[in-house]
Amino acid sequence: MTRRLILIAYIVFLLLPIYWLVNMSFKTNTEITTTMSIVPIAPTLKNYAEIFTNPTWYGGFRFSLTYVVLNTLISIGVALPAAYAFSRYHFLGDKHLFFWLLTNRMAPPAVFALPFFNLYSAVGLFNTSWAVALAHCIFNVPLAVWILEGFMSGVPREIDETAYIDGYSFPRFFIRIFLPLIASGVGVAAFFCFMFSWVELLFARTLTNNQSISSIMTRTVSAAGIDWGLLSAAGVLTLVPGVLVIWFVRNYIAKGFALGRV
């Protein structure tokens, strides 16, 4: 009984802020600032209506989703062959290279922001979704390589060899035999890339002209004060893609953690 109480308390503690965000998104600013109500007294969809009708808002969502999807595709596409090489071949300095990849994640993003800004302005990538997608690769590619390498090393090398003996060419083996075996790894890696890119703020702001959803949300702060209701509604909507992705990869996430990588 005590155990259950503790668990309930913990879950309430975790979910309360999220509930409160949802709660606020259905209220008017006056209600938010004047009363403390568990459920909205005068529920309104005005905040959501604003987001779905104002092109700045829904454009922001579209822009962010574009670079997040682009980034996830690039990261996984690049990390698959890299992880295969790390998992299957021995070459000079392979362990050091593998570790160096990871150290990229340890550097603060701000270090890279300025050079990226300058470079992308020079080649005309500034203010495009490609700019953000490529910039996020510096963090997501190492992560994806790390996760995928773990999954790939879990597949016995003999499977590769059996496929060659059976007559498979490398591309055919990789797509027909190998990818299905590490599908959960690809799912987990894609999830982490997606989430990192979705919540990242610094690059998204520096490399674009305030187009990403995270930077648009900062616009709710104006001289007239903060538009609490609108901000909450936007917050709720930013949670949705994450929830969807988690829903799709929920069975694989546990596996990903069980492998001791991630």
User: Which of 109-117, 130-138, 172-180, 198-206 is the region at the interface with other proteins (rule: CB under 8 A)?
Assistant: 172-180
| Radius of gyration, CA atoms only, the chain | 22
Using rule CB under 8 A, residue 103 touches other proteins: no
Measured from the CB atom, the residue of 130 and 168 that comes closer to other proteins is 168
Provide, rounded to whole angstroms, the least separation between the CB of residue 157 and other proteins.
Answer: 10
Using rule CB under 8 A, residue 171 touches other proteins: no
Using rule CB under 8 A, residue 199 touches other proteins: no
Cβ–Cβ under 8 Å, residues 198 and 242: yes
Using rule CB under 8 A, residue 158 touches other proteins: yes
Measured from the CB atom, the residue of 65 and 181 that comes closer to other proteins is 181
Contact pattern for other proteins over residues 60 through 99, marking x by CB under 8 A: ----------------------------------------
Among 93, 108, 124, 180, binds other proteins (CB under 8 A): 180
User: Which of 36-44, 76-84, 123-131, 175-183 is the region at the interface with other proteins (rule: CB under 8 A)?
Assistant: 175-183
Which of 42, 19, 15, 38 is CA-nearest to residue 29?
42
Using rule CB under 8 A, residue 177 touches other proteins: yes
Measured from the CB atom, the residue of 3 and 96 that comes closer to other proteins is 96
List residues binding other proteins (CB under 8 A): 156, 158-159, 161-169, 172, 177, 180-181
